[in-house]
Amino acid sequence: MTTPTARFEQAFARRHAEGRRALVTYLCVGDPDERESIDLALACVAAGADILELGSPFSDPSADGPAIARASERALAKGGGLDTTLRVARAVRERTDVPIVLFGYYNPLFVRGELAVVKAAAEHGVDALLVVDLPVDEAEGLRAAAAAHGVGVVPLVAPTTTDARLRAIAEAAAAYPVPFVYYVSMTGVTGGASAESALAEAGARAGAVRSATGRPTVIGFGIDNAARARVAAADADGVVVGSAIVRRIEEGTSPEGRAEAVRALVRELRDAI
């Protein structure tokens, strides 16, 4: 049986051996509904995604741009939230061994309790948590609880991250399971398109983050097509694409159409990196 931490190691090692990069795809769970979120996650895997980010919808998604904010609103209006996201994770885990990251904000974790969330995440097949608004120096309790259940915690690094903060992230990576580091390519929110020169600079920075932390580093924010993915991936271990996928789902008019639109985009991204 593959362990949660090993899933990430195998995913990155497989692409490295091929001379390629890992592709991380994000979905806002519950948009358009719970059942279709399962199908869309599996569509991403079938088209070449190496890691799934399952986003738990939240009423104040401060790091997310308009596309994901609208998706969160739609999902919440249908009763979505952490429980729905966990159920989708379990259903996906029953069908694939691809690593699953539970992406969310700290408030729902705080309300339920860190230990309860980590335990439920592990039971539902989640391999790691990414809590976008929880700084590394406030995450000791979550990292310890997660580690006790074999779950990793993904830290974020931004262009504004100081050397001192990067050292703290490196120390956390040495002490606890950190499957990879998420490098945010730009200041601002998701969904904007980064210039290719900025993504190339982000790629170089991601390489420095990898050296500092000893962990694979992927780039997210501003990657919405194959050309930008190729540039960003040149010096990184992978790329994250979210808003572009969410927009394809938003524009779809049928389950079949949405699934095919997502598969087509993921195939383009996979071929590019």
Neighbours of 130 (CB within 10 A): 22
What's 122-169 look like in SS3? HHCCCCEEEECCCCHHHCHHHHHHHHHCCCEECCEECCCCCHHHHHHH
Which of 31, 34, 50, 64 is labelled catalytic? 64
Two tokens, residue 1: 């049986």
Spatial distance between the Cα atoms of 249 and 24, rounded to a whole number of angstroms: 17
Q: Which helix (H) or strand (E) holds 28?
A: strand 22-28
Spatial distance between the Cα atoms of 8 and 108, rounded to a whole number of angstroms: 25
Spatial distance between the Cα atoms of 215 and 210, rounded to a whole number of angstroms: 5
Annotation marks residue 53 as catalytic: yes
Annotation marks residue 33 as catalytic: no
Which of 31, 34, 53, 201 is labelled catalytic? 53
| Catalytic residue set | 53, 64
